Structure 1
Amino acid sequence: MPHTRFTDGATELVASCSSAPLFNHVVRTYLFAASIGKKLGKAFDEEMLYLGCIMHDLGLTEKFIKDARFELDGADAARQYLVDNKFPEEKAEVIWDAIALHATMELPERKRPEIALVHLGAFMDGGMNANIFPLSFFEEVFEEFPQNGNKTHFIELVANVLRKKPHTAYLSFEKDIGVKMVEGFPTVNYCDIKPNYPFNR
């Protein structure tokens, strides 16, 4: 993991306001993101990728819950931290994009590596594309940064946010249209998805 005054400061910030499962998740996100990038032969800025990964869930912490979707609250908080600490503004904007888009499907993968990899790393921690690495790779990561019921904890954190601001739950308007307009439209609830990947802790 890269060590600069920006990454060390961001790690300290995140650790100070995150639960242990959430902190482990954002660290694993970086480890997975960097590994995916290297496997795919992507050229990326390690410092920027780390900053995007380590701060991508700030919007789920009590300190940074504001009025927008949690991804945007987190992106705003990360950019503010970086700009306040004299990080180059053009790079801070890339990190804002990475965090704002990390929970969106398809879109971030069409963006520059630092943006795409934050998304891919975060979703790999939920099992997506886990088949590109051997089980031993995940076991090594989880040994150092345990999951500790990560999915259940994540659902609880998001539910906490939605209790405070339910208006941000419109994340997929397409699903709403499908339910209302398409007879027999199949719906899948994230909370009910059974993992089909080689790890679930």
Structure 2
Amino acid sequence: MPDQSNTPGQNSEKKHVTRRTALERGAGFAAIGAASALASAVSVSPAAAASGPAPHAGAWDPKADALPKEVAGVRIPTSEVAVETAAFVRRVSSETLFNHVMRTYVFSALLFDRRGVRYDRELAFLAAALHDLGLVETYQTQAERFEVDGADAARRFLRSRRMPAERVEVVWDAIALHTSVGIATRKRPEIAMICVGSGLDFAGNDLQQIPSDILEEILTAFPRKGFKQDAIDNILSLCRTKPTSVLMHPFAEVGRRHIPDFPVPTVEDLLLAAPFED
């Protein structure tokens, strides 16, 4: 994702927004989904922020977009919507990000298959493939968390493919909750799988459960290609361009480590700034 930290008009606004200023504007942070003091200086209409650009599959080249039928014994769904989804995600994502979402599916399917868990393979694949659309600049709003941006973009895409609403909502939940381990893992398998699979690929959670030869096969099919640095770059881009979205989000810690005078308050800051006399 391109670094937008030097966009004209944004730097001049942000360099004057200190943590103290943010706390003085505390009410703005309470309404994360609304316009806030840290929103980008570039204006976006409420309608555009709510709906965002509508993803579409576009032309599909079966030779260029074809996926293997299976990886490490995990079957890749071949339904029309699964094929169109994979082709769409490949076109809008970097190769590094596309390979990550594919590994997310394969890792999660391996773990859940070995545990004997029954799940809807197509839904799990769709949710995994679409789960990081919120890291693609085209689908980002000004203030929503990247998980919600991604879930909303996935919902629009699947609705355009005329997928039944109840199935679309499972995918939405899986994407919106995929960084909330304590919640997602208590939900239905297709939701839990995206959290588990992405967590394994991101931080190595449960990696010891994947035999070395199986891991090598997965990484050959979908190479990492500098995933760690790419992820850090994406996180910092969100921190710089839409800091409101990382309020009380783990990504804020990356912003505080790397960005001088990072303006997003901590949970403690919010608590101490609450307008009550204790």
Instruction: Please state which band the TM-score falls in when normalised by the shorter chain.
Output: 0.7 to 0.9
**SS at 1:125 equivalent:** helix
- Are positions 1:41 and 2:112 aligned together? no
- Contact 2:130 2:154 (8 Å CA) reproduced: yes
User: Could you tell me how far apart the structure 2 residues matched to 1:171 and 1:36 are?
Assistant: 30
Q: Look up the match of 1:2.
A: 77
Aligned to 2:198: 122
Kindly state the Cα deviation for residue 160 of structure 1 after the two structures are TM-superposed. 1.4
The residue that corresponds to 2:209 in the other structure is: 132
Answer whether contact 2:106 2:197 (CA < 8 A) is retained.
Answer: yes
- Counterpart of 1:167 (choices 235, 244, 260) is 244
Q: Quote the residue 2:41 is aligned against.
A: none
Q: How does 1:1-201 map to 2 (within 5 A)?
A: 1-67=76-142, 68-126=144-202, 127-172=204-249, 176-177=266-267
What are the ranges of 5 or more consecutive residues in structure 1 without an aligned counterpart? 182-201
AA at the equivalent of 2:84: G
8 Å contact from structure 2 (residues 101, 129) kept in 1: yes
How far apart, CA to CA, are the structure 2 residues paired with 1:172 and 1:25? 21
State the distance in 2 between where 1:44 and 1:122 align: 17
Amino acid at match of 1:47: E
Answer yes or no: is the 8 Å Cα contact 1:82–1:92 preserved in 2. yes
- Closer, same or farther: CA 27–43 of 1 in aligned 2, 3 Å: same
In the TM superposition, what whole-angstrom CA distance separates every residue of 1:82-118 from its partner, at most 9, and x where no partner exists? 1121101001001000000001121100000000001
Distance, in Å, in 2 between the alignment partners of 1:41 and 1:23 is 27
TM-score by structure 2 length?
0.62
Paired residues of 2:248 and 2:267 also in contact (CA < 8 A): no
Mark the structure with the bigger radius of gyration.
Answer: 2
Deviant stretches of 4+, over 3 Å: 175-181
Distance in 1 of aligned mates of 2:246 and 2:191: 23
Hey, what's the Cα distance between the residues in 2 that align with 1:145 and 1:85?
26
Contact 1:60 1:157 in 2 (8 A): yes
For 1:53 and 1:63, the matched residues in 2 are separated by: 19
Higher helix share: 1
- Aligned position for 1:196: none
Change (3 A) 1:135 1:178: farther
Residues 89 and 122 from structure 1, CA distance in 2 versus in 1: closer, same or farther, beyond 3 angstroms? same
Q: Which moved more, 1:127-136 or 1:46-55?
A: 127-136
Q: Distance in 2 between matches of 1:59 and 1:172?
A: 14
Identity %: 37
**By how many angstroms is 1:162 displaced?**
2.3
Q: Distance in 1 between matches of 2:209 and 2:146?
A: 29
Distance of aligned partners of 1:180 and 1:100 in 2 relative to their CA distance in 1, 3 Å threshold: closer
Number of residue pairs the alignment of both structures matches: 180
